[in-house]
Amino acid sequence: MNIYVLSIVFSLLFLGFVIEMIRRRQISERYSLLWLILGLIMLIISFFPKLLNSLASAMGIIYGTSLLFFISSLFSLVSILHLTTVITKLDRKTTRLTQELALLKSQGEEARDDRSADRPL
């Protein structure tokens, strides 16, 4: 099987997989946009492989595959950075919710103690 046909099939399967994950609500639309764009870029490069070599030549890069590796590395770094910021926000929210829950439990226990102290024996 030709590598170009294989890359087209893989790109289409990847896009289908991402769309199915969106449909089943396994990933939210906000995060899926990045994966859909990646799938479309893979599909375009698969259909027009000379486009990658022309772009690499215009940028002064000798091999198109080197440009592809560089772009995929940048994508990975941006994706990791984005996920790190999301995790940091969720961690802060979890800490805040835990603190608020502890305060509410403390207030509830104080109110219960006050009520039991006010009852006559």
Could you report the per-residue pLDDT of 60-113, keeping only the tens digit for each? Answer: 999 888 998 999 999 899 889 988 999 999 999 999 999 999 999 999 888 888
pLDDT (average), residues 11-37 = 90
pTM metric for this prediction: 0.68
Of the chain, the percentage scoring pLDDT greater than 70 comes to: 96
d(CA 41, CA 85) in angstroms, rounded, equals 25
- Which pLDDT does position 121 carry in this prediction? 57
Q: Is the pLDDT of residue 119 over 80?
A: no
Interval 32-57 mean pLDDT: 90
Mean pLDDT of all residues in 33-39: 89
Q: What does the pLDDT read at residue 79?
A: 87
What is the Cα–Cα distance from 53 to 83, expressed in whole angstroms? Answer: 31
Residue identified by tokens 């403390």 is 106
- Tokens representing residue 84 in the block: 């790190």
